[in-house]
Structure formats: structure tokens, C-alpha cells
Structure 1
Amino acid sequence: MIYTVWLPLVLPFLAGPAARRLPASLPPRRAVLVLALAAIGLAGASTCALALLVVPGATHVPAVGHLLVPLASGAPDAVVAVAAVAAALLVCCTTLLVRGAGRRQRRLRRARALAARSDSELVVLADHYPDAYALPGRPGRIVVTTGMIRALSAPEREALLAHERAHLKDRHHLFTAVVDLAGLCHPGLRALREPLAYAVERSADESAAAAVGDRGLTARAIARAALAARAASAVATTRPGPALAATAGPVPKRVAALLGGPDPGRAIRPLVRRAATLALLSCVALSAGASLHAADELHDGIEIAQGESP
């Protein structure tokens, strides 16, 4: 049995705690990129590991035994059982991934169709429920309800629109899709969704603050928009799946980050920041390295087995 092949299946569970600290460890835009790349790397390595676990057991099956001499990698019954479980998990993950990708693609097409109905970047909906979100498309649109317009002052509306414009410009819906799909490949990667969602909103917050030139105004706009949405008795049900809203995520934490309030942990934060980033990147590197090492060992084992065949 190739023992290193199990490492990529375990490490995604350890990546979650490091990922939760990452948005506070890096600039928001960089944190979004690192989290997305980590999700891709860990998902790919774990999927590769499942495929590698199938091969040794497959060489013990009579139907394919004529292709290779069975590998001497443990008791045949145990190897076949592990391969069967790995194959079942691989089929399950593949099915979930294909269905998830198809579902997201259908939602994105619907969102683009809605965005194409308007010639203007800004779409105002006659709805008393306070809501605003970025609708991806070609080009994207910013949707705001009349309820949200009434809830904010003119400068606050400009900050809110700058936030949603940043979502469209940086194509944040693609990053959220990557992490969501990675979570379908390995359950441990679902823990990356919340940090990624927070990092995406923080990235848009910073872009909005830079656009309007006032961090306090941006923080006030986000806070008032979130309070207005929470105070409304209705529930937003018409927001498309790929849409990203400024009122999402931990709003108080985002507002505090914009205002730069006192931080009791500021003295130790540089060390924590480096440790969180290093831990997540180490998980990715170890997973990739372990998958490559396991594949190399399996390849060598197959060559040796074939060389011993009559």
C-alpha cells in the first residue's frame, strides 16, 4: 500500500483552521486569490489520491488482471476493498462536481439573461425590500431596489455602488464558484467557503473605500444597508444565485476593519498572519507532493510487477 497517498485525503481537514485566519493575514484581494488557489490545489490532490487508490486494487480484479501482474501492495482482499471504496467516492465526487458545475452554469446563464435586459449598468427595481447586489453578465449589472435607495443618503449610495462595482470588476463570482466546487470534491474544503466569502466582501469594501476616498463613509454605507435589510419584514427571494451583495457576511467585523478600530491582538498579529498563511500553503504543498510521490511509487511498482511477469 502507498501510505503517502492518504496525506492528500487528510490535509484538507487541517486547511480549514488556517483558512479562517487568512483573510486577516493578507490584503483582501490577495487572500481571495490564495484561498481559491488553495482550494484548487487541495481538491485536485485529493481527487488524484482517490484515483491512485483504485489502481492497485484494480490489478487484482480478474477482469483486468491480464493487463498487469497484481501489485504486491498488501493483502489482496484489503487492497480490493480499499480500491472499491475509493472508486465509489471518486464516482460520487465526480457526479457531485458535474451536477454542481451544471447548476452554477445554469444560474449564471439566467443571471446574464437578466443583466442583458438593461442597457444601463444600474438597474433599479421597484421593491420596498432594501437590497443591492452585483449581477454577473457580459457586461454585469448592479441591481438596487427602491427600498435600499430610500434607506441611504446620496454619498452612501455611491459607496454602496462602488462596492458592487468592485464585485463585477474583480469577477468575484468566479472565485466563489471555484471554492464551492472544490467543496464538492472533498468535504474538508467546505470550511474554505466562509473565509472566502468574507475575503471577497473585504476586497470589495477596500475597493469602494478607495473609489469614494472615505473609509468612514464606506463603513457607514455598509452598516446602514445591512441594518435596513435586517429591519425589513420581507425576505429577498428574487436575488439570483451568482449575485454578490454588500450586506453579506459578518458586517460588524467588516465595518471594524474599515474603521481601523483598536485591536488588542495587534502585537502578535504579524506572527499569526505569517503562521496562518504558511500553514495553508504548507497543506497545499504537502498534498501536491504526496500525490506526486504516491504516483511515482505506484508507477515504479507497476514497472517492477510487469518485469517479474513471465
Structure 2
Amino acid sequence: MSLLLSLPLLLPFLAGPVSRAAATSLPPGPAVRLLACSAAGLAAGSTAALAMLAVPGATHLRPVAALGHLLTPLTSGAPGTALAVTVAATSMLAATGALLVRGAYRWRKRSLRARALAAGSPGELVVLADEHPDAYALPGRPGRIVITSGMLRALSAEEREVVLAHERSHLRGRHHLLVAIAELAAHCHPGLRPVREHLRYALERTADEAAARAVGDRRLTARAIGRAALAVRASPGRRRPGSALAVTTGPVPLRVAALLGQSARTPASRTPRRLAAVTLLACLAVSAGASLRAADSLHARIEIAQGETCGE
């Protein structure tokens, strides 16, 4: 069973580099869905694997065996080795749990703060009297689009419409929830940290495409995003809420290039897209299958250790 459980623990390391190819080669919408599902599924698989690795060795302890009504331990090897595996798995589970609790608390705190800021404004648009150019989507009930006076001066009227459409897409799609899922998944397994960053890129690309459709001009959209990013870079020192999604986030040159690229898909370009998607789906399927198979095996061993098989 230990060999079977090693798959959910190792596959997230493969998903990290593959997620980059998925984020850059797939259309933004499918990329977002694939990366979010992969992060959540692989995190669940690795956490379940640690939990199942901790169980067999723990049954050598009398309180645990009595709690499970076990007549014999689940492992027949040396108790010292089984207990060492249990201690290691339990320690990693405890660390993961602490990171998850801290991450969930921080996300909740940021969300409440964002809602409080959003609630203080009567309309969708909040204009801050701030010389530092910035613009971001502030999640809340309802959400708000925050833009500074410095950013308004840095952009033309048409470019402002692009920025507003971009941030409106973040609010409409509730993208901050997907970011939270990816952040919590990264706390579960270090191999999923790159997936979190690539999901953020895919979310920005989704908002870019929504803005391009809203204004009907891809070149204008690319120019507005580029000018906004240059304005922000030229004026550092801004303070933005942690839960905010901004038009200037991520690799802006790559996003601009995607907006200016040809929309036609050549047959040669389909290969990396399919390979990235198939690889991520395969990682997710293998992780889930290995976890379920290991859980079934563990359940059968528990029944045997409880003496139910002999009673039948």
C-alpha cells in the first residue's frame, strides 16, 4: 500500500511544470477550470495519502488498536519501521493542517476587510485620491472596482474602459475564490505552488479576453494593459489589499503578446495544448485512483484485523 500511496505524494511535483504549459497554451477559460480542479484534486489526494500512511503503524499502539477494535496490528513487519512512517506522516499532516488553518484564517480576514472597504462605497466604482497609479477588483457583497486618480490620469478614456471591463470580469467570475482554492492547495503540497501562480496568470488572461470582447478591440486592450503596468511600475509604493486581483498582475508582456497574437489555431499548436491537458488530467485520475484503491485496501485490512473475516 505504501508504494500505491507514493503516487498521490509525487504527482503534484509533475503537475507544477505541466501547469505552466497548460496556462500558456490552452484557452484561458478551460485553463482556469483545469488548473483549479487539478490543484484541489491533487491536494486532496496527497492529504488523504498522508492520512492513510499514518494509520497502519499507529495500530501498534494499544489505545489506537482498542479504539478500532483491532485484534492484530495492520502491519506484520517491524513495529519500529511502521511507527517511524506513522510519525513522519503525522508530522507532515500536522504541518499541513497548521498551514491550512493559518491560510484560511488569513484569507477570511482579508475577505472581511475587503467587504468592509467595499461596503463603504455606494457604487461599483471607487476612485481613490492617490497619486500612485493602481486599479484592482475588490471582492465583497457586492464587489467594487477600485481605481486611483493617478491611474485615471495615466490612461485615456478608451483605456480606462478596458481596465474597468477587466476588473469587472474578475468580480463577475468570482475569481478570488479560485485564487483561494489554489492558495490552500499550495499549503497542502509544496509541488502545487507553481500551479497557484499559473492559475493567477490564466485568470488574468480570462479577464483580458473579457475586456477585449467588451471594448471590441484587442489592440486597444493590449495597449491599455501595457500602459497601466508601466504606470504602476514607474510609481512603486502602492498598498493593495491581499485579496484584490489587479490588471497589472503577472507577466504582462506575455499577456499583451497573447492579445496581439493571431486567434487562428494551427494544427501544430494543438499538440502542446492536448499534451498539457492530458498530462494534468492523467495526474488527477491516477492520484484519485491510487487514493481510492489504497483506501479500499486499508478498509479490507481493518476488517481482517478486527476478526470479521474469521467470524464469517
Tell me whether the two structures share a fold, i.e. TM-score over 0.5. yes
Partner of residue 49, structure 1: 49
| 1:24 has 2:29 as partner | no
Q: Specify the alignment match of 2:301 in structure 1.
A: 301
In structure 2, C-alpha distance between the alignment counterparts of 1:79 and 1:58, rounded to whole Å: 8
Task: Give the whole-Å Cα distance in 1 for the aligned partners of 2:254 and 2:25.
Answer: 14
- Equivalents in 2 of 1:214, 1:222: separation in Å? 13
In structure 2, the partner of 1:193 is: 196
Q: How far apart in 2 are the matches of 1:74 and 1:9?
A: 23
* Matched AA of 1:251: V
What is the TM-score normalised by the length of structure 1? 0.95
Deviation of residue 309 (structure 1)? 7.8
Shift of 1:64: 2.2
Equivalent residue for 1:60? 60
- 1:170 matched residue in structure 2: 173
Q: Root-mean-square deviation (CA), in Å?
A: 1.8
Alignment match, 1:235: 237
Partner of residue 11, structure 1: 11
The structural deviation recorded for 1:76 is 1.5
1:133 deviates by 0.4
Deviation at 1:27?
1.7
Report SS of the residue matched to 2:306. helix
Supply the AA of the counterpart residue of 2:246: A
CA contact 2:75–2:82 (8 Å) conserved in 1: no
* Distance in 2 separating the partners of 1:28 and 1:2: 37
1:210, distance to aligned residue in structure 2 (A): 0.4
Task: Tell me how many residue pairs correspond in the alignment.
Answer: 307
In the alignment, structure 1 residue 89 sits paired with structure 2 residue 87: no
| Residue type at the aligned position of 2:173 | D
Against the structure 1 CA distance between its residues 303 and 189, is the aligned structure 2 distance closer, same or farther, given a 3 Å change threshold?
A: same
Match of 1:236, as an amino acid? R
Tell me the equivalent position of 1:132: 135
Tell me how far apart the structure 2 counterparts of residues 15 and 2 of structure 1 sit (CA, whole Å): 21
The whole-number CA distance in structure 2 between the counterparts of 1:88 and 1:211 is 50
Query: How far off its partner does 1:242 sit?
Result: 0.5
For residues 288 and 262 of structure 1, what CA distance do their matches in structure 2 show? 35
Superposed CA offset, 1:247-304 (max 9, x none): 11111110011011699x9663211110001101111110000001111111111222
Is 1:100 aligned to 2:103, yes or no?
yes
Question: Does the residue aligned with 1:240 lie in a helix, a strand or coil?
Answer: coil
Q: Which ranges in structure 2 are unaligned for 5 or more consecutive residues? A: none
Q: Percent identity?
A: 61
- 1:246 to 2:256 alignment: no
Q: Secondary structure at the match of 1:242?
A: coil
CA contact (8 A) 1:25 1:277 kept: no
Return the alpha-carbon distance in structure 2 between the equivalents of residues 117 and 53 of structure 1.
Answer: 50
Q: CA deviation at 1:10?
A: 0.6
Query: How far, CA to CA, are the matches of 1:128 and 1:25 in structure 2?
Result: 37
- Which amino acid letter does the alignment assign opposite residue 284 of structure 2? V
SS of 1:268's equivalent?
Answer: helix
Q: Distance in 2 between matches of 1:228 and 1:267?
A: 38
- The residue number in structure 2 matching 1:145 is 148
Quick one: distance in 1 between partners of 2:65 and 2:164? 63
Q: Matched residues in 2 for 1:289 and 1:136: separation?
A: 36
Task: State which drifts further: 67-76 or 126-135.
Answer: 67-76
The whole-number CA distance in structure 2 between the counterparts of 1:72 and 1:183 is 32
Could you list the runs of 4 or more consecutive aligned residues of structure 1 that deviate by over 4 angstroms after TM superposition? none
